[in-house]
Amino acid sequence: MADPLLFKKQVLGGAGTGLLPQLARWLINDHASITGPGWKIIEAYDDDCPTTKLRQPTSGDENNMDNAAFSLNSDFGWHLDSLGTKDWIVLESLADPAYQVVFGSSGSTSLYYCMLPYGDFTPGMAAVSPPSYTNGGGMPPASRVLYYNTAYVTITGWNHVISFDISGTYYAFADEDTLGVIGDSGASLRWLYIGVLEDYRSEANGASFDIGSRCIMYCAPDHVHTNDGSYWGYILSWSNSPEVPIQLSSNNMESCSYHGPVDWSGEGGLTSEVGISPVYLFMQPLNLYEHSLLGRIKNLYSVSGKTQGTVSYGRGTLDGRSYAFFVNTAYHQAVAFKWDGSTDIP
């Protein structure tokens, strides 16, 4: 895919119309009105289902939330777009090699997620929530899972934007191997990013990095800016010590390639002279790999320039290229992604 597909602005709220069922359908390209990238379902769990709580999609129909296995008995929440407080789903990207993502709910206003860089979730294991390696829920060992430290990333709290029963406005971008979601409850702006590094560094000082080292995940949804690299989760694994991947959550992220002034249009409070640049991930000192440039975060850009107030978002153009931007902290660099110039975002 040349440019990411866009999940146009949606006002969602309530367990049956919340973000998670709509987002999952969009990612597998099964949304009623918005074209998605075509990821596939690996497994889903509905804690309130009176019959089979844990289900794998019918073979060959992994891009359909209404596949025969899910629609059986008409009582499975993922088929009905109605989720409870302990439901989860595993989706697989179209990356080559593919990675997987676990999304789940841990309360009426909480969403959690993690990333499996090696795509090694085992379906058909214990029907538990949330799934983990220790409770037999199909997850690989923690060293092969991209958590934040050792736990799922959780987005929760009153007026928190990525929730199930609090109304909010959501929009997103995704392609075969990246996903960004932005939500605005009216009182707070939050986001998540799951994806890969482009031009990731596969070798350094004679050691070859594991393919899992191309995956990247943002772990602090309430910090909507690109100034602090400590919120990025990353697995470092190289050929001379593959048995102990190192999970880094305190990398130093910098942006570069300043493009010059841009005149933004639409909502938001960015000054007239700002620049948009790619976002690169750098490693903090670690043995022989001090200050290593790991790669460029795909489909993510940084907007330099001051914001007015604590929440700012909008869209505009730079050198004939259209972008949408968002930030929730004054005087920090905003996050930006490609915009097609017409979709209702933000």
- Mean pLDDT in the chain? 76
- Asked whether residue 344 is domain-assigned, the answer is no
Give the mean pLDDT of 49-56.
97
Q: What pLDDT score does 161 carry? A: 34
- Res. 70: pLDDT tops 60: yes
Examine the pLDDT at 118 and tell me if it is beyond 50: yes
**Residue-number span of the structural domain to which 309 is assigned:** 5-338
Percentages of the chain per state (helix, strand, coil), in multiples of 5: 10, 35, 55
Number of domains composing the chain? 1
Any domain includes 177: yes
Buried b / exposed e over 102-132, threshold 16 CB at 10 Å, is bbbbbebbbbbbbbbbbbebeeebebbbbbb
Long-range contacts of 286-294 (CB under 8 A, 24+ apart): 286/236, 286/246, 286/248, 288/204, 288/205, 288/207, 289/204, 289/205, 289/236, 292/201, 292/204, 293/201, 294/197, 294/200, 294/201, 294/213, 294/234, 294/251
What is the rounded average pLDDT of the residues 39-60?
Answer: 96
The answer to whether position 86 is within a domain reads yes
Max avg pLDDT among 56-60, 222-226, 312-316? 56-60
Does any domain span residue 203? Answer: yes
Query: Does residue 167 fall inside a structural domain?
Result: yes
Confidence of residue 241 (pLDDT cuts 50, 70, 90): very low
> What's the token pair of residue 252?
């130093």
Q: State mean pLDDT over 111-123.
A: 92
Q: Are 313 and 211 in contact (CB under 8 A)?
A: no
- Report if residue 46 sits inside a domain: yes
Does position 22 have pLDDT exceeding 50, yes or no?
yes
Report the pLDDT value the prediction gives residue 184, as an integer from 0 to 100.
75
Characterise 133 by phi-psi region: left (phi > 0), alpha (psi -120 to 50), beta (else).
alpha
Distances (CA, A) of 174 to 5, 39, 226, 265: 5, 10, 19, 23
Mean pLDDT computed over 127-147: 91
pLDDT band, residue 186 (cuts 50/70/90): low
Q: What is the pLDDT of residue 57?
A: 98
Tens digit of pLDDT for each residue in 310-331? 567 777 776 567 888 887 776 6
Mean pLDDT of 1-26: 79
Does residue 345 lie in a domain region?
Answer: no
Q: Is there a domain that residue 239 lies in?
A: yes
